[in-house]
Amino acid sequence: MNEKEALANIRQKIDDIDLKIQQLLNDRAAMAQEVARIKMDSGEQADFYRPEREAMVLRTVMERNQGPLASAEVARLFREIMSACLAAEKPLQVAYLGPEGSFTQAAAQKQFGGSVELHPMTTIADVFHAVETSHACYGVVPVENSTEGMVSHTLDRFISSPLKINGEVTLRIHHYLLSKEKNLEDISKVYAHPQAIAQCRQWLMEQLPQAELVPLNSNSEAAKRVAAEPQNSAAIAANRAADIYGLSILARNIEDEVDNTTRFLVIGTQNVGPSGVDKTALLVATKNKPGALQTLLKPLADNSISMTRIESRPSRKGIWEYVFFIDIEGHIHEPAVASALSLLENESSMFRILGSYPKAVL
């Protein structure tokens, strides 16, 4: 067989496989529509999006993968298949902290795939508002960065919002210096979100010690500003922003930490079921007496429940001076978690479960 015949032969096999994949994808979508019918018949509010089920499917896909495709690649494909199947059940609107090109948009795409309608919002409060008023089914907001710590706007908004946490997304963050200029020496001003400036501080000090650092609401706004200015300015932003705003990349990966990760939350109105590997977020206030926090946390240790984070914030309500955001491992439906939380509730002056949700898979 010559090369031409060998290629034609294999391509015929690929065509046959594609035909089967396509038939199977449509069979799968028809099953998802069947699931949707059952959900609608169950009355109440039908939750079409099931983050716990999606997490289980993705984990299974990765565990059983034998290659040659990498597990992360196969999971990404299944992420898109489920996104398309969900859209065949019901198109979803997801609000995110914009503008277009923001890291939060990338996080929303990572979590929901390409078949949802994404709506950029100007502020974190606007994202909450869009979901609270049912203009969006879900929202995506940043909550913590591995170098800069908590995003306090997001935590504070939970104090007054009835919304729950329905999922988490983690994203490796790389910062780029974007400009119309071709040389670093020509940069006298750098625009960026304050967190991005903080994450690149060392690099900026070494490479652009003379440049004025100008904080803006978002890195995308910074890129937009640079695109509108005639010369000498640069923006710290994601590489996507270079295409969106027609800028060139002056420097790559300028973040000081090699493992710069941002964690985002999916906010919604749903009570998410257990996926097997879950987290639970709590909002509590302690009684005003000595050792109160220690007493409050004791049931967690007694039940061998890991606390992955605790943050205190001023309550702004006057009744409690401080509230605590506590993340633990496990789901409220797990008996050990349920019994620890009921003891913890007895010890607190305010107690709210912000949500149990699957740990990020991708």
Ligand X SMILES: O=C(O)C(=O)C[C@]1(C(=O)O)C=C[C@@H](O)C=C1
* Smallest separation (angstroms) from ligand X to the CB of 20: 19
Q: Can residue 86 be called a binding residue for ligand X (CB under 6 A)? A: yes
Is 103 an annotated catalytic residue? no
Nearer to ligand X, 48 or 351 (CB): 48
Catalytic residue among 112, 264, 324, 325: 264
**Per DSSP, what are the bridge partners of residue 171?**
262
Give CA–CA dist 202/254, Å, rounded.
9
Q: Can residue 266 be called a binding residue for ligand X (CB under 6 A)? A: no
Residues 118-177 that bind ligand X (CB under 6 A): none
Residues 7-46 that bind ligand X (CB under 6 A): 32, 35
Q: How many residues bind ligand X (CB under 6 A)?
A: 11
Q: Can residue 87 be called a binding residue for ligand X (CB under 6 A)? A: no
Element at 27 (helix H, strand E):
helix 3-41
Question: Distance between terminal CA atoms of the chain?
Answer: 43
DSSP symbol at 185: G
Q: Can residue 353 be called a binding residue for ligand X (CB under 6 A)? A: no
Residues in the chain: 362
Sequence-separated (6 or more) residues with CB below 8 Å from residue 297: 307, 310, 326, 344
Is 158 an annotated catalytic residue? no
* DSSP letter for each residue of 40-56: HHT-S------HHHHHH
Q: Candidates 13-21, 79-87, 109-117, 296-304 — which segment interacts with ligand X by CB under 6 A?
A: 79-87
Nearer to ligand X, 27 or 185 (CB): 27
Q: Which of 89, 144, 181, 255 binds ligand X (CB under 6 A)?
A: 89
Nearer to ligand X, 215 or 273 (CB): 273
Nearer to ligand X, 56 or 125 (CB): 56
Could you give phi then psi for residue 348, rounded to 5 degrees?
-110, 155
Structure tokens at 236: 């710290």
Give CA–CA dist 51/216, Å, rounded.
33
* Smallest separation (angstroms) from ligand X to the CB of 84: 8
Nearer to ligand X, 87 or 200 (CB): 87
Q: In Å, how far are 63, 100, 131, 143 from 74, measured between CA atoms?
A: 11, 27, 31, 28
Q: Can residue 57 be called a binding residue for ligand X (CB under 6 A)? A: yes
Q: Candidates 84-92, 127-135, 167-175, 254-262 — which segment interacts with ligand X by CB under 6 A?
A: 84-92
On whether the CB atoms of residues 275 and 56 are closer than 8 A, the answer is yes
Nearest CA to 317 out of 153, 159, 132, 154 is that of 159
Q: Return the active site residues.
A: 262, 264
Which residues in this chain contact ligand X in the complex, by CB under 6 A? 32, 35, 49-50, 53-54, 57, 82, 85-86, 89
